[in-house]
Amino acid sequence: MAYENILSALENNITTITINRPSKLNALNQATINELHKAFKKADEDKKTKVIIITGSGEKAFVAGADISEFADFSVSQGEKLAAEGQAKLFDFVAHLSTPVIAAVNGFALGGGLELAMAAHFRIASDNAKMGLPEVSLGVIPGYGGTQRLPQLVGKGRAMELIMTAGMIDANQALQYGLVNHVTTLEELLPFAEKLASKIKRNSSVAIAAAIEAVNAGFEDGENGFEAEITQFGKCFGTADFQEGTQAFLQKRKADFPGK
Ligand code: COA
């Protein structure tokens, strides 16, 4: 599939999706959001893709936010639609994907950029990365899940401060906050993401999908995470991956999971 604003490449069972508008610091316009939706969906449906890495092109930005030029003259209803459609198409979509998604934050991750990184299942960052939700400096609030996912990841007080000040934190502070799991040099960022992806892809993709669903359930309104865990745990016993994983252990050999 040919894309205009992103690149998608599958290698060694890892699909790397790169947002590729470096002259606009990879800002998320609608066309890019639509392409990202298609690329994530395709990778998730592809049996060969065991892990997805999302990153930005260039050395400056992961994503510098939603494209401000596209919504500057929006009305109330257009604003609401922008947030609702974006959440459904990209941010919630990524968060609920059954294929693990790692965000490799290679520079500015601001507004929608940080929201995209937070929608990923976990994040790593290069030491030049800067993260923040600057929306209130524009007279708006985060609309792609930022008011919910930032407090979930860093705690309410830190999230309130970051949102209210519209400030940026650097990669080391993000590490200290638990917003990112690891910090590397820019050169090492993708190799390190691939190393983590390689560890993940050895495991059962079916079990990982069940784990993602159970973990997410604990953060959904009206869902009981412990009950979701019991259901997902039980479901695993009916899978070929479980048969293979347990037999391989008992036979003292490496598991060869049939997978998704
Ligand atoms: N939407 C649209 N265009 C954006 C953008 C965004 N969120 N962020 C950057 N760009 C564009 C700039 O308009 C500029 O385009 P131009 O060369 O055609 O004028 C280009 O990307 C480079 O950005 P520039 O501001 O010149 O780079 P900088 O190094 O001086 O500053 C930032 C970098 C990230 C501090 C600055 O671009 C910025 O504050 N961006 C907006 C961040 C934001 O508020 N995001 C939340 C949106 S809800």
Closest ligand 1 atom, residue 137 Cα: 44
Task: Please state, rounded to an integer, the average pLDDT across all residues of the chain.
Answer: 97
Distance 23 CA to ligand 1 centre (A): 9
137 phi/psi in degrees, rounded to 5: -70, -15
Q: Ligand 1: does its nearest atom lie under 6 Å from the Cβ of 24?
A: yes
Spell out a b/e string for 85-112, using b for 16 or more CB atoms within 10 Å of the CB, else e.
ebbebbbebbbebebbbbbbbbbbbbbb
Helix (H, G, I), strand (E, B) or coil at 205: helix
* 211-224 pLDDT per residue, tens: 999 999 999 989 99
Distance 118 CA to ligand 1 centre (A): 20
Q: Ligand 1: does its nearest atom lie under 6 Å from the Cβ of 134?
A: yes
Distance 115 CA to ligand 1 centre (A): 16
Closest CA to 108 of 150, 159, 154, 55: 55
Q: What is the mean pLDDT of residues 219-232?
A: 95
Active site members = 115, 135
Q: In this structure, are strands 51-56 and 108-110 parallel, antiparallel, or unpaired?
A: unpaired
Look at ligand 1, atom 36, and give the residue with the nearest C-alpha: 64
Distance 24 CA to ligand 1 centre (A): 6
Look at ligand 1, atom 1, and give the residue with the nearest C-alpha: 67
Q: What is the mean pLDDT of residues 155-163?
A: 98
Q: Ligand 1: does its nearest atom lie under 6 Å from the Cβ of 27?
A: yes
Closest ligand 1 atom, residue 108 Cα: 34
Q: Is the pLDDT of residue 54 over 80?
A: yes
Q: Ligand 1: does its nearest atom lie under 6 Å from the Cβ of 115?
A: no
Q: Ligand 1: does its nearest atom lie under 6 Å from the Cβ of 110?
A: yes
Q: Give the model's confidence band at 84: pLDDT under 50 very low, under 70 low, under 90 confident, else very high.
A: very high
Q: Is the pLDDT of residue 1 over 90?
A: no
Q: Ligand 1: does its nearest atom lie under 6 Å from the Cβ of 69?
A: yes
